[in-house]
Structure 1
Amino acid sequence: MLNFLQRIGKSLMFPIATLPAAALLVRLGMEDMLDIPFVTAAGNGILTNLSLIFAIGIAMGFAKDGSGAAALAGAVGVLVLEGGIGAINENINMGVFSGIVSGVIAGMLYNRFYDVKFPEFLSFFGGKRFVPIITSLVMVALSFVFGYLWVYPQNVLDATANWILNAGELGVGVYGVLNRLLIPVGLHHVMNTLIWFDFGTFTTESGEVVRGEINRFLNGDPEAGHFLAGFFPVMMFGLPAACLAMYAAAKKHRKAAVGGMLLSIALTSFLTGVTEPIEFTFMFLSPLLYVVHAILTAVSMVAAFMLDVRHGFGFSAGLIDYLLNYSIAENPLMLILIGVVLGAVYFVVFYFLIVKLDLKTPGREDEEEDLVEETQEVGQPNKPANDYDAKAYQYLEALGGSENIKSLDYCTTRLRLQMSDREKVNEAALRRYGARGVMKVGKQNLQVIVGTTVEFLADAMRKRMDQRYEAPPETDFKEDEQSDKSYNSRELSAEDFVLPNEGTVMPLEDVPDEVFAQQMMGPGFAIDPEKDTFTSPVNGKVVQVFPTKHAIGLEADDGMEILIHIGLDTVQLKGEGFETLVEANQTVKQGDPLIRVDLDFVKRKAPSVVTPIIFTNLENETVTLHQTGRHSQGETGIVTVQ
């Protein structure tokens, strides 16, 4: 049932996407703007036919391939339903709910009958042409049922709407909390649809009846806008201040890594009111902050109501909508005052809770400590590319391959997936490729928070899945001819690799660090070193010497890339206790000194000196560890790659 409701929530984004155009037309045509009545009437042409638009959009969203045949069936369905109900009881008005019902049924019928076959003399009506026919027949039956029975749920809905709309501060406060708390499961769109497009009515000067908070506000209802105004301080000031608090609380060496991301999503929220990229950065890492966020949203809603502020939006509560509808709002400057105060509260509360409770917000995650700094520097053949085709490959690989995905969908900022085996999903890899969070729902469902570019990524992933291939073209990750050769199948014999230090050799899974033990950075092994100097295990060159000197990246002559990470959490030592003996791009041979380490100092300051040795750019090759236990520096026969 949750998955079904989430599909409705996702499908609602199709018709909601028409609202900015409608709102813009309505505003531009008004007397205080361009004073062109037919432009306002054109915008209202969308707002007064929302049930039809919702039926079309939801049917497309439910259809397995987004077919236009499903959209046509949704349109036919809502026209039949509303016409039949009106003939039975003209006092019944289902509002956008009739469009939702029609769209869901049309989409489900399309998935069931889109490939139906009939005898040759009826073949014209087979396949997709049959879907509008069967949809109209089903809606005739439903119009009979709703025509006589909908009066009872309509009374309940009217009573609920009247309570919410007339409960004053309590009503807007409850709505504010629920609006945020339902975001993790994607059901906030369902509740928003009722409040924004169905609850409450207003008759315009031309005698036209409009429904819902957004429609009524845009058409001049003096009672509308209270359920929209309180979102502006949160989206323009509160959440950007939360981003500032997360940046301030980030570990010093991580600020540069997370600062750009936090700045971009803060600007997105401020300008457009799209907040999910921010909310998903802390929603699952620190649920307490999300509860605080929901409560502060309610506080903002109540404050705006008590100060008699009315404002509205056509898309979301960002600066663009704030300025566009400023002239028809009531007390809009109060929202700036509320926003400044609320922003200060967000910053202080978030920063205090993050620091005092050591909450794992961006820049403070223990398990991501090394990934941010290192995985994109050395030996990552699947590092994110600019084109979505390459990124689609990366996501499919991290999700366990296309055969592990039963269904792929998306909403505003996230992929919605049904998985065959959710255990195959590599969450660390998804975050490495740009995902801001992963949410597990039920037993098979998975949501990957991508951001507002999710549509392009999802389309590229579907293309790869439909064409039955996952591996990207060779040019996806090719930077030059040398890097192209490095991705050919490669082998490492027992003599090609010598132990870089003396000590105890162990399997990677014995390393007391989840990132390395689960091979999130690649396969390999580890050594508990005894000597102070690490030497080169292969003939090749130095690719990267990390600024903190605790790790070094090598490239063997055949292109195989190797990361030697000395100790665990040693990045926090900021180079103290380490002395690099080589430079980037320097040619090295087996046994050449690379790094000198004060082992006693590192043992005192770091959790462990156990050193993972990772093969970072392997694809189908297998790493075999032949020897464990204590071995001498320079020994061969330790490991092979085939």
Structure 2
Amino acid sequence: MFSFLQKIGKSLMFPIATLPAAALLLRFGQDDMLGIPFLSAAGAGIIDNLAIIFAIGIAFGLAHDSNGGAALAGAIAYLVLTSAIVTINDSINMGVFAGILSGIVGGLLYNKFYDVKFPAWLAFFGGRRFVPIITAAAMTVLAGLFGYAWPPIQGIIDGAGDWILNAGMFGVGAYGFLNRLLLPTGLHHVINTIVWFDFGTFTDANGEVVRGEINRFLKGDPTAGPFLSGFFPIMMFGLPAACLAIYATAKKERKAIVGGMLFSIAFTSFLTGITEPIEFSFMFLSPVLYIVHAMLTGVSMMVAYALDIHHGFGFSAGAIDYVLNFGLAQNPLMLLVMGAGTGAIYFGIFYFLIIKLDLKTPGREDEDMENGNADTGNTGNDIRAYHTIEALGGSSNITAVDYCTTRLRLTVKDADKVSEKDLKRHGAMGLMKINKTNVQVVIGTAVEFLADAMQKRLANGNPAPESLEVPVEETTAAPELVKELRMGDFEMPIDGEIIELSQVPDKVFAKAMMGPGFGIIPSGGTLHSPVDGRVVTLFPSKHAIGIETDTGIEILIHVGLDTVKLNGEGFEALVEQGQLVQRGDALLKLDLAYLEANAPSAVTPIIFTNLAGQELEMLKKGKQNQGTDSILKIQ
């Protein structure tokens, strides 16, 4: 659930990104600025349709492949829901909740049915074309349910909103504290959406009912702003002062290095209200500072409320929004007075806590933490990094270095300059050229150390080490890869039901003669790779595929039983033998109806064929969606 909410929070950034444009147009069109109704109407076109924009944006963000078909499904879900529900009760107003619900349903149904297949006479309606159809049907049912279930829910939400809106300083303070506290998880977007776009109502001059703190403020509601005003002193003054405290407490020899970075992110916060670069610079290094920051945000919100300050923003509480919306605000100059005091408090508290608790903020890290294994001498990682860079075409050919569990993920200028032979000579297990500028090199579980050494070398132009030989103490045979799979390293390869291996209707598999594993009763039409690895076997009949993980575990996926006799009918291979694959990559297309009709069973055994002494532990059973992780682990 936490992961799912994070995905929704991330998806909310798509529609929220439209707000700056809407705020600018709406504000510049007002009579006290340019007085151009055309501009105001253009901005209102976004503000007044946020619910359907949320439906489209969330569905698009939840789609596994970010396909526009999911966005269409979200829009259809919203239109069906809002049109049908009012025929049951015309007083229902779900606001942005209708958009959020529609986006979630549209995105989930897209992921479920995007590759569904039908008989030839219905084939036109298969795949992505089926998603809007099933979405309309699902939302019709939900509209019927919510037509009766939503009025009491709406009453609770309105009551909670009224309580928070009327709870005075405690209400705005609690919101400010939670807003910052939830930032690391991404869940702050969820509560922001509710407060900004749903709580409170206002009837504008045209008789239109407007909901939400931001919308009401921009439309001229004199009561709007308390849930926005207190952010200005924090973002324009408090966090920049925190940067000053971090700089002042940095080690003398490190000030020049961190000073430029701190000035840049402080100015960004002041001007635009974008604070994440500052907050992420200390929230994990020094959590105590982040908790203090969240508390101070709540206090700032309470003080602004007590001073009867009403100011708002369309994007964030920076200087741009402060000036832009100055004419709509009440007591806006008091925010500058608050800002001066907030800046002094932030600097004093941060400076004291950093010194008193010896917090490792930027510029105060211990030497070993700063340098890691950066001693560019004759260490094995350093020498291997040198050779790897050269095999990739030299430092001038490398644009960016990243890595995952076992692979280097690189952006290069020309993939043709990369030498697979030289990479393997210096320890790489494989190379995959994604396109002309992106390559992946399979290294194994030591990839993190190699990537760190490469990044440090690239920063200096990759000078040749004193010796090109690995030190004697490190010249040992490469240890055998530990055959281990962590919970997140294995994903469900296909929609279906997990069963115990003993339930597979084949004695060879059921008695684990080929190795331990489990079975799947498939319900999906595409088999995906459950792991990062290489396709080592693809049977000519396409009924089975063997994958070796980057850490040496061999996995056999046998689709159905006795399906070798089908001679490839019902299967479409999407990969080739020897190809490197990642978790989630499509391997086989299945005609499940054909397999069920022509094979003894469609049950698919997943067998680990070379485990010796390692223990396989199943963590989930029953019906699971493709891509679900934490299915099992091997130790």
Q: TM-score range, shorter-chain basis?
A: 0.5 to 0.7
- 1:424 aligns with none
Is the Cα–Cα contact under 8 Å of residues 399 and 412 in structure 2 kept in the other structure?
A: no
Amino acid corresponding to residue 31 of structure 1 in structure 2: D
For residue 368 of structure 1, report the CA deviation from its aligned partner. Answer: 2.5
Amino acid corresponding to residue 30 of structure 2 in structure 1: M
Question: Which whole-Å deviations, capped at 9, do the CAs of 1:327-385 have from their partners, x for residues lacking one?
Answer: 11111111111111101111111011001100111112224332598779x876699x9
- 1:365 aligns with 365
For residue 4 of structure 1, report the CA deviation from its aligned partner. Answer: 0.6
The 3 A distance-change label for structure 1 pair 307 and 278 is same
For residue 38 of structure 1, report the CA deviation from its aligned partner. Answer: 2.3
The 3 A distance-change label for structure 1 pair 477 and 160 is farther
Provide the rounded CA distance (Å) in 2 between the counterparts of 1:224 and 1:104: 29
Amino acid corresponding to residue 476 of structure 2 in structure 1: T
For residue 157 of structure 1, report the CA deviation from its aligned partner. Answer: 0.5
- 2:226 aligns with 226
Question: Which whole-Å deviations, capped at 9, do the CAs of 1:290-316 have from their partners, x for residues lacking one?
Answer: 110011101111111111111111111
- 2:476 aligns with 624
The 3 A distance-change label for structure 1 pair 108 and 484 is closer
- 1:401 aligns with 407
Provide the rounded CA distance (Å) in 2 between the counterparts of 1:354 and 1:148: 55
Provide the rounded CA distance (Å) in 2 between the counterparts of 1:252 and 1:333: 38
Is the Cα–Cα contact under 8 Å of residues 177 and 295 in structure 1 kept in the other structure?
A: yes
- 2:264 aligns with 264
Provide the rounded CA distance (Å) in 2 between the counterparts of 1:67 and 1:250: 47
Provide the rounded CA distance (Å) in 2 between the counterparts of 1:614 and 1:391: 33
SS in 1 for 2:465: strand
Superposed counterparts of 1:373-452, under 5 Å: 394-395=401-402, 397-401=403-407
The 3 A distance-change label for structure 1 pair 124 and 521 is closer
Provide the rounded CA distance (Å) in 2 between the counterparts of 1:256 and 1:477: 39
Using the size of structure 2 for normalisation, the TM-score is: 0.64
SS in 2 for 1:360: coil
The 3 A distance-change label for structure 1 pair 30 and 136 is same
- 2:44 aligns with 44
SS in 2 for 1:64: coil
Provide the rounded CA distance (Å) in 2 between the counterparts of 1:184 and 1:561: 44
Question: Which whole-Å deviations, capped at 9, do the CAs of 1:109-154 have from their partners, x for residues lacking one?
Answer: 0011111111122111111111111001000000000000111111
Using the size of structure 1 for normalisation, the TM-score is: 0.64
For residue 256 of structure 1, report the CA deviation from its aligned partner. Answer: 2.0
For residue 625 of structure 1, report the CA deviation from its aligned partner. Answer: 8.8
Is the Cα–Cα contact under 8 Å of residues 173 and 302 in structure 1 kept in the other structure?
A: yes
- 2:465 aligns with 555
- 1:100 aligns with 100
Provide the rounded CA distance (Å) in 1 between the counterparts of 2:15 and 2:376: 40
- 1:186 aligns with 186
Superposed counterparts of 1:479-558, under 5 Å: 555-556=465-466
- 1:149 aligns with 149
Provide the rounded CA distance (Å) in 2 between the counterparts of 1:55 and 1:623: 58
Provide the rounded CA distance (Å) in 2 between the counterparts of 1:24 and 1:125: 43
Q: CA RMSD in A?
A: 3.6
Amino acid corresponding to residue 401 of structure 1 in structure 2: R
How many equivalent residue pairs? Answer: 445
For residue 614 of structure 1, report the CA deviation from its aligned partner. Answer: 11
Amino acid corresponding to residue 270 of structure 2 in structure 1: F
Question: Which whole-Å deviations, capped at 9, do the CAs of 1:70-122 have from their partners, x for residues lacking one?
Answer: 10110000010011111100111110001000000100100111111111221
Provide the rounded CA distance (Å) in 2 between the counterparts of 1:323 and 1:477: 52
Question: Which whole-Å deviations, capped at 9, do the CAs of 1:384-408 have from their partners, x for residues lacking one?
Answer: x9x9x9566x22x254338xxxxxx
Question: Which whole-Å deviations, capped at 9, do the CAs of 1:578-633 have from their partners, x for residues lacking one?
Answer: xxxxxxxxxxxxxxxxxxxxxxxxxxxxxxxxxxx799xxxxxx84399xxxxxxx
- 2:599 aligns with none
Is the Cα–Cα contact under 8 Å of residues 554 and 561 in structure 1 kept in the other structure?
A: no
Amino acid corresponding to residue 315 of structure 1 in structure 2: F
% same residue: 59
The 3 A distance-change label for structure 1 pair 172 and 476 is farther
SS in 2 for 1:103: helix
Provide the rounded CA distance (Å) in 2 between the counterparts of 1:121 and 1:103: 31
Is the Cα–Cα contact under 8 Å of residues 399 and 410 in structure 2 kept in the other structure?
A: no
Provide the rounded CA distance (Å) in 1 between the counterparts of 2:374 and 2:267: 24
User: Any stretches of 5+ residues in structure 2 without a counterpart?
Assistant: 428-445, 479-635
Provide the rounded CA distance (Å) in 2 between the counterparts of 1:203 and 1:491: 70
Amino acid corresponding to residue 87 of structure 1 in structure 2: T
